[in-house]
């Protein structure tokens, strides 16, 4: 359902941006690289009546998409924030329109919009979940498992997550680390809900290898081809029994509609950062629901800020598959919020407090801050 009542305007006075370096509990390897420290930008919107927090989910290098930390920092401080401050008083649903003249940079826009949503909803005493249309008080929790040293190590890592209670396993694959890794997990754990994510590592020439995955009864294969391979994904989907799910390709509600119309995806991963914000994410959800296309909530190794927002989003009715909304401890020993998301019976609770429903731990935040700037009106 579209959002019925927009959040109120806030009187903007400035924005604080911080680059954080959060050490990961273990290295995270995908087809595009290995991370040991999560570099991310945290946003604080400063208003006449309070503050609000957001997160820009770019990584240090443009490997998942074209966005990256210093690019987001530059565009936010030089163009996006000044445009918002020139308006003075802004409601969250106006942010996308104000920033529309600036092409792309969706993660940067999403982080700023989230900070305004948090600020506005805190003032109104409404939770982000209520605002977006959440219909559940907790969401089933899946886990994204990076490529390990070998299939045996992968099996042991997956075993640990299953023991913790995660209800769905996603493993990362790349050429040469696909069929054997998937077979090892399927053989070790029988009929667990299992899916794979290629992060664009294949081409249509690999269709034969990808079809070998059909025998593992996967929930889906995520983003086998490049971001702009929208026609090739449709061609590939016809050759696979495994449902094709798109992540990187879905950069907006329009892109989602096009992918569905072309038959490029039968499942969609929704990430607010990738589509330019939580409000656009709800629009993607709504159109997928109208088209009976199942969606699930993706993740970008969020801090407690984005993790709380993702739990709220994943509680919308069209999110019929478990998302990558895992406990904070999956990635971090110490989060920057006072009550990090925990796993309870394979689920993560949807916060109910005003705005994001989580509070920042200022000491923990300072400890991982490596760069800070304040841009004022």
Q: Would you name the residues annotated as active-site residues?
A: 172, 271
The listed partner (Mg ion, ligand OSB, none) that binds 118, CB under 5 to 8 Å by sort, is: none
Q: Which residue has the tokens 């990961």?
A: 24
Residues 194-213 that bind ligand OSB (CB under 6 A): 197, 199
In the complex, residue closest to ligand OSB by CB? 299
Taking the alpha carbons of 121, 124, 127, 133 in that order, is the dihedral positive or negative? negative
Binding to ligand OSB by residue 130, rule CB under 6 A?
A: no
Binding to Mg ion by residue 302, rule CB under 5 A?
A: no
The listed partner (Mg ion, ligand OSB, none) that binds 52, CB under 5 to 8 Å by sort, is: none
CB of 1 to ligand OSB, least distance (A): 26
CB of 212 to Mg ion, least distance (A): 20
Among 46, 196, 300, 343, binds ligand OSB (CB under 6 A): 300
Among 363, 361, 311, 367, which Cα is nearest to 341's?
A: 311
Nearer to Mg ion, 161 or 296 (CB): 296
The listed partner (Mg ion, ligand OSB, none) that binds 272, CB under 5 to 8 Å by sort, is: none
The two three-digit tokens of residue 338, written as one number = 């006072």
Number of residues that bind ligand OSB (CB under 6 A): 11
Binding piece for ligand OSB, criterion CB under 6 A, among 5-13, 87-95, 211-219, 298-306 = 298-306
Query: Partners of 369 in the beta sheet?
Result: 20
Site string for ligand OSB, 304-333 (x = CB under 6 A): --------------------x-x-------
- The answer to whether 289 touches 317, Cβ cutoff 8 Å, is yes
Q: DSSP letter string over 111-156?
A: HHHHHHHHHHHHHHT-BHHHHHT---SEEEBEEEE---SSHHHHHH
CB of 324 to Mg ion, least distance (A): 8
CB of 141 to ligand OSB, least distance (A): 10
Q: Which residue has the tokens 């629901």?
A: 289
Strands 10-30 and 89-90, by their bridges, are antiparallel
- The whole-angstrom separation of Cα 370 and Cα 309 is 24
Among 7, 54, 56, 64, binds ligand OSB (CB under 6 A): 64
What's the residue count for the chain? Answer: 377
Any idea what DSSP says for residue 354? S
Residues 234-293 that bind ligand OSB (CB under 6 A): 247
The two three-digit tokens of residue 131, written as one number = 């605002």
The two three-digit tokens of residue 205, written as one number = 């020439």
The listed partner (Mg ion, ligand OSB, none) that binds 299, CB under 5 to 8 Å by sort, is: ligand OSB
CA neighbours closer than 13 Å in the CB half-sphere of residue 35: 26
CB of 299 to ligand OSB, least distance (A): 2
- The answer to whether 296 touches 13, Cβ cutoff 8 Å, is no
Number of residues that bind Mg ion (CB under 5 A): 3
Among 47, 127, 144, 264, binds ligand OSB (CB under 6 A): 144
Among 140, 299, 318, 322, binds ligand OSB (CB under 6 A): 299
C-alpha distance across the termini of the chain, in Å: 36
Binding to ligand OSB by residue 301, rule CB under 6 A?
A: yes
CB of 16 to Mg ion, least distance (A): 30
Nearer to ligand OSB, 122 or 177 (CB): 177
- The answer to whether 43 touches 56, Cβ cutoff 8 Å, is yes
- The answer to whether 296 touches 314, Cβ cutoff 8 Å, is yes
Residue 89 backbone zone (phi > 0: left; psi -120 to 50: alpha; other: beta): beta
Nearer to Mg ion, 271 or 347 (CB): 271
Any idea what DSSP says for residue 241? S
CB of 364 to ligand OSB, least distance (A): 19
Which residues make up the interface to Mg ion (CB under 5 A)? 197, 222, 247
Which residues make up the interface to ligand OSB (CB under 6 A)? 64, 144, 197, 199, 247, 298-301, 324, 326
């Amino acid at each position: 359902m579209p959002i019925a009542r927009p959040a109120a305007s806030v009187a903007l006075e400035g924005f604080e941006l911080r680059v954080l370096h959060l050490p990961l509990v273990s290295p995270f390897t995908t087809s595009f690289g290995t991370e040991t420290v999560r570099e991310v930008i945290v946003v604080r919107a400063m208003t006449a009546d309070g503050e609000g927090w957001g997160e820009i989910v770019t990584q240090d290098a443009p490997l998942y998409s074209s966005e990256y930390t210093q690019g987001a920092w530059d565009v936010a401080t030089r163009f996006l924030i000044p445009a918002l401050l020139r308006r003075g008083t802004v409601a969250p649903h106006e942010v996308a329109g104000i920033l529309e003249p600036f092409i792309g940079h969706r993660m940067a826009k999403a982080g700023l919009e989230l900070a305004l949503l948090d600020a506005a909803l805190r003032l109104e005493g409404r939770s982000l979940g209520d605002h977006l249309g959440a219909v559940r008080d907790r969401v089933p929790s899946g886990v994204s498992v990076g490529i390990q040293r070998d299939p045996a190590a992968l099996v042991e890592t997956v075993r640990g997550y299953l023991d913790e209670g995660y209800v769905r396993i996603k493993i990362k694959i790349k050429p040469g680390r696909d069929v054997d890794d998937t077979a090892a997990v399927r053989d070790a754990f029988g009929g667990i809900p299992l899916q794979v994510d290629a992060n664009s590592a294949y081409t249509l020439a690999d269709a034969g290898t990808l079809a070998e995955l059909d025998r593992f009864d996967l929930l889906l294969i995520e983003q086998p081809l490049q971001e702009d391979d929208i026609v090739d994904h449709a061609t590939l989907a016809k050759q696979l029994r495994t449902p094709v799910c798109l992540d990187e390709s879905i950069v907006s509600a329009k892109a989602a509609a096009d992918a569905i119309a072309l038959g490029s995806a039968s499942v969609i991963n929704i990430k607010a950062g990738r589509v330019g914000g939580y409000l656009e994410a709800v629009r993607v959800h709504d159109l997928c629901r109208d088209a009976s296309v199942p969606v699930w909530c993706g993740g970008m190794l969020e801090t407690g800020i984005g993790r709380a927002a993702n739990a709220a989003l994943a509680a919308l009715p069209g999110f019929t598959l478990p998302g990558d909304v895992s406990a904070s401890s999956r990635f971090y020993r110490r989060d920057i919020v006072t009550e990090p998301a925990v796993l309870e019976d394979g689920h993560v609770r949807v916060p109910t407090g005003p705005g994001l429903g989580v509070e920042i731990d200022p000491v923990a935040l300072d400890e991982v801050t490596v760069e800070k700037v304040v841009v004022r009106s």
